């Protein structure tokens, strides 16, 4: 698959790209618009990005530096870390329950934003 960036514009602190995707003969190319986070991670379509960035106030980022997509992010507005995949999403806040995985319930509260981020990372990994 080959992706050519046709044009870019700003989208609420992220980048909206119009791209040509080639997977075969040129007459079968696909043109689409996708939103990318400042760290280069794919947020998704305009509709998905609008929900994440505008409605929830999340600045999305990659869970893993070598991945292509964003699955965690922080909302300054709500002071929450979020973790998500195509299947589920969850927010994590100081004072809420720490998330390790679905099999382990450690029953402790999140003490700071770093632990909230760890919970978001763990959740996103569990549902990916």
Overall average pLDDT of the 112-119 stretch: 97
Which residues constitute the domain of residue 21? 2-127
Span 23-76, pLDDT tens digits: 888 788 999 999 999 999 999 999 999 999 999 999 999 999 999 999 999 999
Tell me what percent of the residues of the chain surpass a pLDDT of 70. 99
Task: Give the number of domains in the chain.
Answer: 1
Element (H, E) at 125: helix 113-127
């Amino acid at each position: 698959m080959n992706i050519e960036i046709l044009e870019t514009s700003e989208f609420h602190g992220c980048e909206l790209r119009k791209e040509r995707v080639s997977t075969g003969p040129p007459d079968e190319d696909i043109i689409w618009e996708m939103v990318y986070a400042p760290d280069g991670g794919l947020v998704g379509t305009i509709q998905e990005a609008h929900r994440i960035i505008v409605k929830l106030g999340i600045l999305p980022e990659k869970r893993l530096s070598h991945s292509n997509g964003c699955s965690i992010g922080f909302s300054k507005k709500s002071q929450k870390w979020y973790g998500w995949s195509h299947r589920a999403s969850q927010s994590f806040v100081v004072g809420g329950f720490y998330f390790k995985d679905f099999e382990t319930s450690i029953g402790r509260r999140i003490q700071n934003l770093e632990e909230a981020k760890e919970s978001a990372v763990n959740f996103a990994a569990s549902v990916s």
